[in-house]
Amino acid sequence: MTFSPVLTFNDGNTIPQLGYGVWQVEDDVAEKVVVQAFEAGFRHIDTARIYGNEAGVGRAITRSGLLPEDIFITTKLWNADQGYESTLKAFEESMERLGLETLDLYLIHWMQPKQDKYVDTWKALIELQKQGRVKTIGVSNFTKEGLQRLIDETGVVPAINQIELHPFFNQAGLREFHASKGILTEAWSPLGQGGELLESAVIGQIAAKHNATPAQVVIAWHLAIGNVVIPKSVTEARIRENHAALDVSLDETVVQAINGLDNSAEGAGRIGADPAVSDFA
């Protein structure tokens, strides 16, 4: 079986570049599909407090018989728990549900600019890392300005920023900023949530030429441009198909053709909320 290559964080730890995401998966279903993902070869799982399936992920880890050192687990602090003390408490509750002693990666889920508690929240993540409770700390849905503020006010550079990113919204500017600061880029909704993107003619033609599926081509593009990528599926055949994208390799011309699908110059492409202006309850 092929396993994902790893990328190295700015703190020296590593992350499998290809992972498996479980947003919108019920807790009992999560247990089943995460076991299937482990069987398909995934070793990196992306969950969050707000997904309501940390316990299901925890049961899948136990059922799989895999050792903690052989897997990589990410969870995220929900917006309502931002703030120093509340973050420390929410972290322990997530760990209880996951059934883990140490977490591989803890992320602030959204920046919440109006709430404006993300610097204090980041200080709590720094403390958790100091205590050895979490190996690596990072953020999700942060803008350049938000990242720069964390760096300026704490001196600790997030290891990763998990953001919406797919060929229709490829975030070239933010990726360049990340690279300049030593921050890894992680792509959420990497398949564009499975809609129009996978039906696009360009992706279809590339897939036919590579004897691959459209989803595999998109995942291979993420891997080629250096993203950490966490496609979701609850269908076992697709879970296997998505993992097998590791065997698809795209040359530079093909990568450039997919880069050309970005729609952001036209103000389009984004599926989810804009982190610069969104504050969720």
Return d(Cα 37, Cα 15) in angstroms, integer. Answer: 16
Q: Residue 5: what residue type? A: P
Q: How far is CA 155 from CA 125, 141, 179, in A?
A: 13, 20, 17
Q: List the one residue from 146, 158, 192, 269 that touches ligand NAD (CB under 6 A).
A: 192
Contact stretch for ligand NAD (CB under 6 A) within 2-10, 60-68, 235-243, 257-265: 235-243
Catalytic status, residue 51: yes
Q: Is 162 a residue that touches ligand NAD (CB under 6 A)?
A: yes
Q: Does 188 bind ligand NAD (CB under 6 A)?
A: yes
Among 242, 243, 248, 261, binds ligand NAD (CB under 6 A): 242
How many residues sit in the footprint of ligand NAD (CB under 6 A)? 26
* Distance of closest approach, residue 10 Cβ to ligand NAD, in angstroms: 20
Residue 232 binds ligand NAD (CB under 6 A): yes
Catalytic residue among 51, 84, 106, 118: 51
Q: Considering only residues 16, 21, 41, 269, which one is a binding residue for ligand NAD as defined by CB under 6 A?
A: 21
Q: Are strands 160-164 and 14-16 parallel, antiparallel or unpaired?
A: unpaired
User: Does residue number 81 form part of the binding site for ligand NAD (CB under 6 A)?
Assistant: no
Q: Which of 41, 146, 231, 269 binds ligand NAD (CB under 6 A)?
A: 231
Q: Which residues are catalytic?
A: 51
| Contact residues: ligand NAD, CB under 6 A | 21-23, 46, 109, 140-141, 162, 188-194, 198, 213, 215, 230-233, 238, 241-242, 272
